[in-house]
């Protein structure tokens, strides 16, 4: 008889050492049947497709093993064939048994015929093997699978993969209807905080799709000089590629935008998923295997403004309360929480009191333009003679401002400048000038509005990066109450800066400035006309006349061509303009923008057309809500990097 294959390697040594009758001992080992695995999960399989999985049937014993019977629950599962030892292809005939120490591979098929149905069956193999612990002579395997109907867009004769990215409400929802999307909208995000959106990666075909990687990159339409680090604002915090998608399977991938804490600049970033689906470009108009999304987010910042920043009460009559007010305002694009408004007496004086709106110690100011962006605070001063200084500290969530309070017999410096014949408070504005133009002068007046002599020790220019500002000669001296002195400040643009600025430093014994080292800094500003921002403009057109290039006006409508024309944009100095187009579409739309060549718009494309899978026009009507409107944005940038952006909400009517 043949020796057991698993004993051959040591047989001669055993015989030599002990005189063992190995053949007799092996003959006494019965056939032992083993089935692996004991369950098969076919996953999701397209209707009428057949998936093939294998079960290995082994004989672990020394004697031959007879297969007494094979039973399979009738239905969607079937036996496709058997691969006996030494063979490579399945054979239809069931073998009578399994030789000692060998394996037989059983191929099992699953062919679903009903969409969404969960299939289950049991495969039982009965043998004459010995009853061994964990390996009974009769064993069964559980078979499960699910039927799936492929997307109608799949060509059953060729492309069996169908990779796509879908979103609900531009990524803001995970419960609504999902449709193919080409951008994620994060909306307004407070600086320093994060917002998450969800993109669903789907395989609507039957063959497995490998999603290889997710790549963040700077939008190709971004103007020159855009910071590549903007891509760091976006991340994939949880599950991310590489991913394997069976037919009908999807994975939800979270995309997070973390707004920078010190900027409200809109980042120009895209996210692409790469896959092995060769046909994805037929739906996206791009590179095979790529699904590309525009990431749209708007960082918003609150900005605390308190004005005036100093208040004088010299006109107060002893013992008679005098009330004045200051304003706490939010000039930023996000809500601002005021944590406290606190009166801080100087030297223990109790001459001041503050009255808060509605007696609220904390309150929230809406964004600029909301109608709730400011509150008025009252300051009540009751003079008891002598000097009386204090300050009010307004504390926001991230920044604070102070209002200086001065009363009694103290020197107080007030600064103003002359605009023509009109006195104005700082900053001192030199207006718009051209590089190398004639000197521009401003007369600055320093007045003592206090009740004690004001001593001015020096006047000088500070923080002048461009070296463009100079101050006239000044002789230190003392100003009696109500007296004033003037100094001439000159500006000449020596270098090509978009905005020139400096400070006029005034050192004195002003009662308020004493807390800051006795110095007052007055802002000096000038705008260079050679670097003004360009002016964007968007016109909606029904087409561009091929002979004249004229915009043909039309009301946007589903099924009607729609172009956006940016040629009305301009630059004050005539600089060359670069264009960046983006389009937000309703969640059910597959529309996107292309340039005159039919490809994604380039910085040279002054106009762009709306196209979709349905044709060269909008495919769905606009509705109500942020996720159901068309919004076109145009950012224009001149050759010096100055830019401006405009957006228009486009109502699109139905047929």
With vertex at residue 611, the alpha carbon angle to CA 248 and CA 219, rounded to the nearest 5 degrees, is: 80
- How much of the chain, in percent, has pLDDT values that exceed 70? 86
Work out the pLDDT band at 5, boundaries 50, 70, 90.
Answer: very low
- Is 317 in the same domain as 393? yes
| CA-to-CA separations, 639 to 433, 529, 569, 643, in angstroms, rounded | 19, 14, 14, 9
* Tens digits of residue pLDDT in 238-285: 988 999 888 778 999 999 999 887 776 777 788 999 998 877 555 555
- Is 72 in the same domain as 102? yes
pLDDT of 11 reads 38
pLDDT at 326 > cutoff 90: yes
Mean pLDDT of the chain: 83
The arithmetic mean of pLDDT across residues 128-146, rounded, is: 91
- Is 501 in the same domain as 525? yes
Average the pLDDT over each of 23-27, 45-49, 67-71, 222-226 and give the range with the smallest value.
23-27
* Domains identified in the chain, total number: 6
pLDDT of 551 reads 84
pLDDT of 109 reads 94
| CA-to-CA separations, 246 to 50, 109, 160, 417, in angstroms, rounded | 14, 17, 11, 73
CATH of the domain at 336: 2.60.40.10
C-alpha dihedral (279, 285, 291, 296), degrees to nearest 10: -170
pLDDT of 6 reads 44
501 lies in a domain? yes
Cβ–Cβ under 8 Å, residues 373 and 388? no
Q: Where are the beta strands (DSSP E) in 47-177?
A: 51-59, 65-72, 77-83, 97-98, 103-110, 118-127, 138-148, 163-167
- Complete edge-to-edge strand list for the sheet that includes strand 179-180: 179-180, 163-167, 194-203, 250-258, 234-235
If one compares 640 and 376, the residue with the highest pLDDT of the two is 376
Plot region of 542 (φ>0 → left; ψ -120 to 50 → alpha; else → beta): alpha
Cβ–Cβ under 8 Å, residues 243 and 211? yes
pLDDT of 223 reads 63
Question: How would you write 579-645 as a 3-class SS string?
Answer: EEEEEECCCCCCCEEECCCCCCCCCCCCEEEEEECCECCCCCCCCCCHHHCEEEEEEEECCCCCEEE
- Is 57 in the same domain as 102? yes
Q: Where are the beta strands (DSSP E) in 246-373?
A: 250-258, 269-275, 290-300, 304-307, 310-312, 322-330, 336-345, 352-355, 363-365
pLDDT of 133 reads 86
Work out the pLDDT band at 437, boundaries 50, 70, 90.
Answer: low
323 lies in a domain? yes
- Is 264 in the same domain as 207? yes
Work out the pLDDT band at 118, boundaries 50, 70, 90.
Answer: confident
Work out the pLDDT band at 446, boundaries 50, 70, 90.
Answer: very high
**Half-sphere exposure in the Cβ direction for 419 (13 Å, CA):** 11
pLDDT at 439 > cutoff 70: yes
Residue 394 β-bridge partners: 341, 401
The arithmetic mean of pLDDT across residues 108-121, rounded, is: 89
237-242 long-range CB contacts below 8 Å, 24 or more apart? 237/196, 240/214, 241/211, 241/212, 241/213, 241/214, 241/273, 241/274, 242/210, 242/211, 242/212, 242/213
- Rounded to two decimals, the pTM is 0.52
Work out the pLDDT band at 81, boundaries 50, 70, 90.
Answer: very high
Other Cβ atoms closer than 10 A to 598: 10
464 burial type by CB count under 10 A (0-12 exposed, 13-18 middle, 19+ buried): middle
The arithmetic mean of pLDDT across residues 363-382, rounded, is: 90
pLDDT of 487 reads 94
Among 490, 514, 531, the domain boundary falls at 531
pLDDT of 600 reads 83
- Is 419 in the same domain as 525? yes
pLDDT at 520 > cutoff 50: yes
201 lies in a domain? yes
Among 496, 511, 531, the domain boundary falls at 531
- Longest CA–CA span in the chain (Å) reads 129
- Is 93 in the same domain as 183? no
- How much of the chain, in percent, has pLDDT values that exceed 90? 32
60 lies in a domain? yes
| CA-to-CA separations, 425 to 70, 80, 418, 419, 433, in angstroms, rounded | 98, 91, 9, 10, 21
pLDDT at 96 > cutoff 90: yes
pLDDT of 280 reads 58
449 lies in a domain? yes
594-599 long-range CB contacts below 8 Å, 24 or more apart? 594/285, 596/544, 599/285
- Cα distance between residue 85 and residue 97, in whole Å: 11
- Is 545 in the same domain as 584? yes
- Is 168 in the same domain as 245? yes
Average the pLDDT over each of 336-345, 388-397, 453-462 and give the range with the smallest value.
388-397
Other Cβ atoms closer than 10 A to 574: 8
Structural domain for 231, as ranges: 163-288
pLDDT at 13 > cutoff 50: no
297 lies in a domain? no
- Is 372 in the same domain as 486? no
Work out the pLDDT band at 151, boundaries 50, 70, 90.
Answer: low
Cβ–Cβ under 8 Å, residues 249 and 211? no
Residue 439 CA from chain centroid, whole number: 46
The arithmetic mean of pLDDT across residues 197-212, rounded, is: 88
If one compares 500 and 49, the residue with the highest pLDDT of the two is 49
Average the pLDDT over each of 151-155, 539-543, 578-582 and give the range with the smallest value.
151-155
pLDDT at 357 > cutoff 90: no
Rank 61-70, 422-431, 580-589 by mean pLDDT and report only the highest: 61-70
655 lies in a domain? no
| CA-to-CA separations, 173 to 78, 195, 251, in angstroms, rounded | 41, 12, 14
Q: Which residue has the tokens 């070296």?
A: 467
- Is 584 in the same domain as 645? yes
If one compares 378 and 46, the residue with the highest pLDDT of the two is 378
pLDDT of 254 reads 94
Among 354, 380, 402, the domain boundary falls at 402
- Cα distance between residue 518 and residue 384, in whole Å: 26
With vertex at residue 111, the alpha carbon angle to CA 110 and CA 115, rounded to the nearest 5 degrees, is: 120
Sorted by sequence, the CB contacts under 8 Å of residue 601 that are 6+ apart come out as 221, 579, 580, 581, 593, 594, 595, 608
pLDDT of 251 reads 92
Work out the pLDDT band at 119, boundaries 50, 70, 90.
Answer: very high
Reduced DSSP (H G I as helix, E B as strand, rest coil) percent helix, strand, coil of the chain, to 5: 5, 50, 45
The closest of 520, 456, 462, 457 to 483, measured between CA atoms, is 456
66 lies in a domain? yes
pLDDT of 299 reads 86
- Is 24 in the same domain as 35? no
- Cα distance between residue 45 and residue 255, in whole Å: 29
pLDDT at 224 > cutoff 80: no
């Amino acid at each position: 008889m043949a020796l057991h294959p698993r004993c051959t390697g040591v047989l001669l040594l055993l015989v030599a050492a002990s005189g063992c009758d190995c053949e007799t001992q092996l003959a006494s080992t019965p056939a032992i049947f083993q089935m692996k695995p004991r369950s098969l999960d076919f996953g999701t399989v397209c209707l009428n497709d057949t998936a093939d999985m294998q079960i290995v049937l082994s004989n672990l014993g020394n004697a031959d093993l007879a297969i007494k019977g094979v039973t399979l629950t009738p239905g969607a599962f079937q036996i496709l064939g058997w691969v006996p030892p030494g063979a490579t292809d399945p054979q239809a005939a069931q073998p009578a048994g399994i030789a000692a120490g060998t394996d037989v591979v059983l191929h099992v098929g699953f062919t679903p015929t009903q969409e969404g149905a969960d299939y289950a069956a049991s495969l039982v193999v009965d043998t004459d093997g010995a009853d061994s612990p964990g390996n009974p002579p009769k064993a069964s395997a559980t078979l499960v699978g699910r039927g799936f109907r492929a997307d109608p867009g799949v060509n059953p004769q060729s492309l069996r993969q169908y990779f796509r990215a879908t979103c609900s409400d531009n990524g803001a929802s995970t419960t609504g209807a999902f449709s193919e999307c080409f951008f994620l909208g994060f909306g307004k995000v407070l600086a320093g905080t994060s917002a998450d959106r969800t993109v669903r990666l789907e395989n609507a075909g039957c063959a497995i799709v490998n999603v290889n990687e997710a790549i963040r990159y700077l939008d190709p339409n971004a103007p020159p000089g855009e910071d590549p680090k903007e891509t760091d604002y976006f991340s994939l915090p949880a599950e991310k590629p590489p991913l394997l998608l069976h037919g009908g399977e999807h994975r939800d991938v979270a995309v997070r935008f973390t707004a920078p804490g010190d900027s409200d600049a809109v980042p120009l970033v895209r996210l692409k998923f790469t896959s092995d689906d060769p046909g994805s470009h037929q739906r996206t108009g791009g590179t095979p295997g790529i699904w590309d999304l525009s990431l749209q987010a708007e960082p918003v910042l609150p900005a605390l403004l308190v004005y005036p920043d100093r208040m004088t009460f010299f006109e107060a009559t002893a013992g008679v309360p005098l009330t004045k007010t200051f304003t706490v305002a939010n000039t930023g694009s996000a809500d601002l929480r005021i944590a406290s408004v606190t009166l801080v007496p100087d030297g223990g004086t109790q001459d001041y009191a503050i009255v808060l709106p509605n007696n609220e110690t904390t309150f929230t100011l809406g964004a600029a333009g909301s109608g709730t962006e400011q509150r008025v605070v009252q300051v009540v001063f009751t003079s008891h003679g002598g000097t009386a200084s204090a300050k009010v500290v307004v504390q926001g969530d991230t920044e604070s401002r102070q209002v200086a309070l001065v009363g009694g017999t103290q020197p107080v410096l007030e600064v103003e400048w002359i605009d023509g014949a009109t006195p104005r408070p700082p900053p001192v504005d030199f207006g718009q000038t051209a590089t190398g133009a004639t000197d521009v002068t401003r007369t600055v007046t320093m007045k003592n509005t206090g009740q004690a002599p004001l001593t001015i020790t020096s006047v000088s220019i500070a923080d002048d990066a461009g070296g463009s500002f100079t101050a006239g000669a000044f002789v230190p001296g003392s100003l009696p109450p109500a007296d004033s002195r003037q100094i001439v400040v000159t500006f000449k643009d020596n270098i090509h800066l978009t905005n020139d600025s400096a400070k006029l430093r005034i050192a004195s014994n002003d009662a308020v400035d004493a807390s800051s080292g006795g110095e007052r800094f007055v802002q000096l500003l000038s705008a260079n006309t050679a670097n003004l921002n360009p002016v964007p403009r968007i016109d909606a057109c029904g087409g561009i006349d091929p002979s004249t290039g004229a915009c043909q006006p039309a009301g946007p409508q589903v099924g009607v061509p729609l172009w956006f024309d940016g040629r009305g944009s301009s630059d004050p100095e005539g600089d060359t303009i670069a264009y960046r187009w983006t389009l937000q579409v309703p969640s059910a739309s597959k529309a996107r923008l292309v340039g005159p060549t039919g490809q994604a718009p380039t910085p040279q494309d002054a106009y762009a057309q709306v196209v979709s899978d349905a044709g060269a026009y909008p495919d769905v009507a606009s509705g109500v809500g942020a996720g159901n409107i068309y919004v076109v944005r145009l950012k224009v940038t001149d050759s010096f990097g100055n830019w401006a952006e405009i957006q228009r909400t486009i109502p699109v009517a139905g047929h």
